[in-house]
Amino acid sequence: MKDDASKLKVTTPPTTSAGVHAVTNALRHLYGKMGPVHATRGMLALNQKGGIDCQSCAWPDPEHRTINEFCENGAKALADEGTKKKIGAEFFAEHSVAELAARDDFWLNDQGRLAEPLILRDGGTHYEPIEWTDAIELIAGKLNSLASPDEAVFYTSGRTSNEAAFLYQLFVRQFGTNNLPDCSNMCHESTSVALNESIGLGKATIRLEDFEKTDLVIVIGQNPGTNSPRMLSSLAAAKAAGAKMIAINPLKEVGLTSFVDPNPQHGNLFGVLGLKPAKLADLHLPVRIGGDMAVLKGLMKIMLERERKSPGTVFEHEFITAKTSGYEDVIVSLDAIDWPDIIAASGLTREQINEAAELILAVNSFITCWAMGVTQHTDAVATIQDIVNLHLLRGSIGKPGAGLCPVRGHSNVQGDRTMGIWERMTPAFRENLEREFAFTAPANDGLNTVESIAAMADGRAKVFFAMGGNFAAASPDTEAVSAALANCDLTVQVITKLNRTALTPGKMSLILPCLGRSEIDRRNGAEQFISTESTMLNVQMSKGIFEPISEQLRSETRIVSELAKATLDDRSTVDWEAMAADYDLIRDRISRVVPGCEDYNERIRNPGGFYMPNPPNRGEFPTPSGTALFRPSKLEYVKLEPGRLFLTTIRSHDQFNTTIYGLDDRYRGIDGGRRVIFMNAADIESRGLAAGQSVDITSYFADVERHVEGFTVVLYDIPIDCAAAYFPEANPLIPLTSVAKRSFTPTSKCVVISVAASDKSLDVDLRG
């Protein structure tokens, strides 16, 4: 899968984000794919109360919404789902699986929506149509033939609604396994582990309004301009109210620097013309890849020095005494760290860290936001706990304008976990689930994503069932995961669009096409709504408005219920059919099983929905000790051998994870290609390379080397020893066994590589 490198153009990145380009680009996608009538109706319903919850990110909606809660990448996600193109039997008769597998991800997605159920039979070369009932019976038969339920793995991506997720995990547990890996295992798992331990809740402690009340926002390892564009409005609101902002990121992402609101209050899309950009970050720390823990420890050491000079003026002792434990341990751990290590690990000077410390010391309240730049590292859990330590030292949590803001990715990844999509269960959830449905859930923990791949590879798992997502492309070590899937007897994808996983099949493979969130979900004539949870714990309803693109599509809920009925038959007392025909019945059950979801049906119908319980938001910490825990750790960082680089894998502005909307990355000056590697001038020169040159990349981990070929060197403002490439093109380089301690998240943001001139491809003239 090579780009046509001759089309690649590299220009200087823009100096401001969003603005009119965001609007015109969105309109191009919307009108181009959906046509004007659908596009306009869709955009007017997106993120409105009772409308469609945007499929793109998990950022919450403001209480007072503009007529058009506009977001460029939300528009792209809507257009991608709402496209008028569709594919079915004819398309698959024409194209063999082998032929399709040779196409790139952009082309695959661009073919349109999957319109009917399909099967690739054992030894077959093409997907063929299959009746729904036959497909369901085939899966049920295979599941029931397994020697143990643990031989099946049930993956979930993060778009699945609360209702579908609840039903799905119930089916899987009644079937008899906890093998419920999810995309969260590759995403914010480090956050969940760290925060559960430190503050007793694995989620954000703030609400959207806090941005207007805060004195300072720190954004670490996150690119909101691309991945949560509506967060820029909150950052701009914070700045307008006088707050400062610090960005900690190897890249100077334009969305962290400067922003023109594409959504002026009057809702006129073209009102943005002539608006002045808002300056965002006051300070940018170009941290070395993997150096965040060093920065955080450096900040705390500076504060500790000040505190010792003027006791009682820096740390919030009243808060620390009343609300926390472990303060002394953290102080001892900070004293054990030496500045030369902090400088080496962070790639920053002491002055740069000092400047950030000054900004923090000058304020009463601050918010820290983070995402994948923090979570996908070996020591991610300890790093996130250092973020918490910093907040606890300053008492900056549980009061207005102060707290923790992990920014989750998929639009309902947080809700799915709340609903029980997890390879484990909390004791309370288990007890409620078993009582409500009168069965005994499997006792053992199930497999997470990385463990599932190992189990499929060595034959312990034989069936792979995916509720959404694109496992083959999103997982580390593309070659290994493809081989693992190929080793399965049966792979099943419940998906909306054709993707790589459907083309790396097991011995037999099924594609079950489902409704998208923007489509009307009608059962027995009645329209159903679903619900989702945002990154700030707001649970809201979402209702599709478009006629489904094909009569053959089924809701995820219906697919689960039919599969459960066919598989479990009289082993289950659950009335699956009734629940799938009336989602209120599912929500009644959720009310009784999921703590915090009491009276779900009533509260979900309030305009704007309701909030899940959030004790840390009020300064209460539901840990076993009832206090927030300072968690000390040693300063850890990866040391590079000569000639090697750290590679981080990032998203372009034109993709949603493995769904590639286009080949550009406007904010980084990339046009027409994705197989690029961003490098520092000195690193290019010291290797005798040149911008525009084609290179091969090798990664190193535990004596295993992995390779990709034909990437074009792009000269970029990135720290020395660091490089960046796009996910998923770089995934063949990610070692399967390199995972974050305790969260098992693949370390996709820090891969040790070398880069060498390629002898296979033509170099590119980058003067575009």
Ligand X SMILES: Nc1nc2c(c(=O)[nH]1)N[C@H]1C(S)=C(S)[C@@H](COP(=O)(O)OP(=O)(O)OC[C@H]3O[C@@H](n4cnc5c(=O)[nH]c(N)nc54)[C@H](O)[C@@H]3O)O[C@H]1N2
Q: Which residues bind ligand X (CB under 6 A)?
A: 56-57, 73, 157-159, 183, 186-187, 220-223, 226-228, 248-251, 253, 287, 289-290, 292, 371-373, 376, 409-410, 467-471, 474, 494-497, 499, 514, 516-517, 556, 648-651, 655-659, 727, 730-731, 734, 748-749
Distance CA(464)–CA(520), nearest Å, equals: 28
Q: Are 10 and 768 in contact (CB under 8 A)?
A: yes
Burial of residue 66, with CB atoms counted within 10 A of its CB: 0-12 exposed, 13-18 middle, 19 or more buried: middle
Residue number with CB closer to Mo ion (384 or 593):
384
Find the shortest distance in angstroms from Cβ 583 to ligand X: 15
Q: Contact between 58 and Mo ion (CB under 5 A)? A: no
Distance CA(666)–CA(760), nearest Å, equals: 28
Q: How far apart are the first and last CA of the chain?
A: 23
> Which range, of 5-13, 181-189, 293-301, 355-363, touches Mo ion by CB under 5 A?
181-189
From ligand X, Mo ion, none, interface partner of 164 (C-beta below 5 to 8 A by class): none
CA 494 to chain centre: 19
From Mo ion, ligand X, none, interface partner of 297 (C-beta below 5 to 8 A by class): none
> Which range, of 80-88, 187-195, 337-345, 713-721, touches Mo ion by CB under 5 A?
187-195
Find the shortest distance in angstroms from Cβ 187 to Mo ion: 3
Distance CA(28)–CA(20), nearest Å, equals: 12
Per the structure block, which two tokens stand in for 552? 């053959």
What one-letter code names the amino acid at 505?
P
From Mo ion, ligand X, none, interface partner of 334 (C-beta below 5 to 8 A by class): none
Q: Identify which of 302, 328, 304, 330 has the alpha carbon closest to the alpha carbon of residue 315.
A: 304
Residue number with CB closer to ligand X (57 or 208):
57
b (16+ CB within 10 A) / e for 308-323: eeeeeebbbeebbeeb
Residue number with CB closer to ligand X (292 or 316):
292
CA 709 to chain centre: 27
Q: Are 1 and 675 in contact (CB under 8 A)?
A: no
Say if strands 530-533 and 538-542 run parallel, antiparallel, or are unpaired. antiparallel
Residue number with CB closer to ligand X (205 or 499):
499
Burial of residue 428, with CB atoms counted within 10 A of its CB: 0-12 exposed, 13-18 middle, 19 or more buried: exposed
Which residue's beta carbon is nearest to the bound Mo ion?
A: 409
From ligand X, Mo ion, none, interface partner of 485 (C-beta below 5 to 8 A by class): none
Find the shortest distance in angstroms from Cβ 760 to Mo ion: 33
Residue number with CB closer to ligand X (316 or 665):
665
Find the shortest distance in angstroms from Cβ 188 to Mo ion: 7
652 Cβ neighbours under 8 A, 6+ residues apart: 226, 664, 665, 668, 670, 674, 726
Q: How far is CA 676 from CA 370, 518, 766, in A?
A: 25, 34, 12
Among 117, 221, 255, 409, contact with Mo ion (rule: CB under 5 A): 409
Distance CA(99)–CA(423), nearest Å, equals: 35
Residue number with CB closer to ligand X (289 or 382):
289
Residue number with CB closer to ligand X (209 or 721):
721
From ligand X, Mo ion, none, interface partner of 278 (C-beta below 5 to 8 A by class): none
Find the shortest distance in angstroms from Cβ 761 to Mo ion: 31
> Which range, of 59-67, 169-177, 407-415, 700-708, touches Mo ion by CB under 5 A?
407-415
Find the shortest distance in angstroms from Cβ 523 to ligand X: 17
Find the shortest distance in angstroms from Cβ 552 to ligand X: 15
Q: Contact between 187 and Mo ion (CB under 5 A)? A: yes
From Mo ion, ligand X, none, interface partner of 136 (C-beta below 5 to 8 A by class): none
Binding site for Mo ion (CB under 5 A): 187, 409
